[in-house]
Amino acid sequence: MSLDPIALATALINCPSVTPASGAVFDLLEEALRSLGFTVHRWVMGEAPDGPTENMVALRGQGGPHFAFAGHLDVVPPGDGWAGDPFDAVVEDGRLVGRGANDMKSAIAAFVAAIPAEQQNGTLSLLITGDEEGYATFGTPRIIDWLNERDIKPDMILIGEPTSVDRLGDTIKIGRRGSVNMWIDVPGTQGHVAYPHRADNPVPKLARVVDALSALHLDDGTEAFPPSNLEFTAISTPTNASNVIPASATAQLNIRFNNLHKGADLVRLVEETAAAAAPGATVRARISGEAFLTPPGRLYDLVVSAIREETGVEPELSTSGGTSDGRFLIQLCPVVDFGLPNATMHKVGESAALEDIRALSRIYGRILGKVFAQSPL
């Protein structure tokens, strides 16, 4: 059975699946995979706010090599300003428009459409989660648990995140920076602004914390990674009244860090810096993932050669940009991210060029051919 990647991508987009996702969008993908001879396993975990999240593992074949494709069916909220319904995909000027067209339902459709009807040897799997855009509490880490419990271990994993920049194939991600979110709370004593001696204003204290943390120099980067960066994303107090000194003040920050650091070490650094600038300050942290780097090897060669053959482009091997579920999957085996040009991901009017989707499917097909020895490297 030959599947059309545009038709499948359109159908997936038309299933609303704001993170965390479950249900109809997984039903649709399961139907397509069963038609190709896959055994499909699905389960739902967790409760709000991080759940319920659905996960899927689809398997075909047995033995080695075991090649896995990983991706996510959840999308970010659409936001306001769309010309039409973001969950009713349309084609405009040669582009498929809809939430998830770029990140990353079209890549999932492209991969499924690339799967050959028959497979002579080895194992092919798809690892699909409904929570990559959120905290992934019940997402890919739980897929890894499922695989480990059954002693299933891929030899290599390709993630279909949109990594290309100016044209399809110009960039693949061979690693990602880690990410940690932190919330700093500085206590005070509420009071009237006309009587500051009867209150303890936490805002100037928090300002000193922000200033101290902003002055930190984390590193200069490495050969593979850009410098780590600390960015404040929110500052707030529990009152909006103009004549009240607040009882507390809070700042939120994110650090994107390279492989010179571990998330826990950065949390300790922020705790110590905050305590020195404002005694009594407390820090709450959530580490989304550690930095990782896939060493050169067969997976590099497979992806690069397939891109070169299809497009004539020599891809840049990059670790820049945001994180991906590769931060979890690297526990299993080598991981590379490669997918569509990413200029419109998460934007109002998110889209992907039809020809890019078709070409991506052909590249994925070349990779599969090489993996299962239907053509040489």
N residues, the chain: 377
* Tens-digit pLDDT profile for residues 212-244: 999 999 999 999 999 999 999 999 999 989 999
Contacts 24+ apart (CB under 8 A), 119-122: 119/60, 119/61, 119/372, 120/372, 120/373, 120/374, 121/61, 121/63, 121/372, 121/373, 122/61, 122/62, 122/63, 122/64, 122/65, 122/66, 122/67, 122/371, 122/372
| pLDDT above 70 (res 374) | no
pLDDT tens, position by position, 86-123: 999 999 999 999 999 999 999 999 999 999 998 889 99
Neighbours of 242 (CB within 10 A): 6
For the segment 296-312, the average pLDDT, to the nearest whole number, is 95
- 314 backbone φψ class: left, alpha, beta (φ>0; ψ -120 to 50): beta
Q: At residue 377, does pLDDT exceed 80?
A: no
* pLDDT tens, residue by residue, 120-165: 899 999 999 999 998 899 999 999 999 999 999 999 999 999 999 9
What CA–CA distance (Å, rounded) separates 235 from 233?
A: 7
Residues tagged active-site = 74, 132
pLDDT, mean of residues 8-19 = 98
Confidence of residue 323 (pLDDT cuts 50, 70, 90): confident
Assess if CATH 3.40.630.10 describes domain 5-176+291-371. yes
Mean pLDDT over residues 290-295, rounded? 92
Q: What does the pLDDT read at residue 240?
A: 84
Mean pLDDT over 242-250 rounds to 97
pLDDT of residue 120: 84
Does the structure show a pLDDT above 80 at 5?
Answer: yes
| pLDDT score of 321 | 81
Q: Assign 295 a pLDDT band (cuts: 50, 70, 90).
A: confident
Of 4-8, 92-96, 252-256, 287-291, which gets the smallest average pLDDT? 287-291
**Which residues face 15 on adjacent strands?**
none
The pLDDT of residue 175 is: 94
- Express as a percent the part of the chain with pLDDT over 90: 93
The mean pLDDT value for 14-23 works out to 97
For residues 346-375, give the mean pLDDT: 93
Q: How confident is the model at residue 376 (pLDDT cuts 50, 70, 90)?
A: very low
In the chain, the percentage of residues whose pLDDT exceeds 70 is 99
Tell me, what's the pLDDT at 267?
Answer: 98
Q: What is the mean pLDDT of residues 22-40?
A: 97
Q: What is the pLDDT of residue 375?
A: 43
Mean pLDDT across the chain: 95
pLDDT tens-digit profile of 33-77? Answer: 999 999 999 999 999 988 999 999 999 999 999 999 999 999 999
Phi, psi of 145 (to 5 degrees): -60, -45
Q: Which CATH number is correct for 178-289, 2.60.40.10, 3.30.70.360, 3.40.50.150, 1.20.1060.10? A: 3.30.70.360
Q: List residues bridging with 257 in a β-sheet.
A: 178
Domain ranges of the chain: 5-176+291-371, 178-289
Helix, coil or strand: residue 43: strand
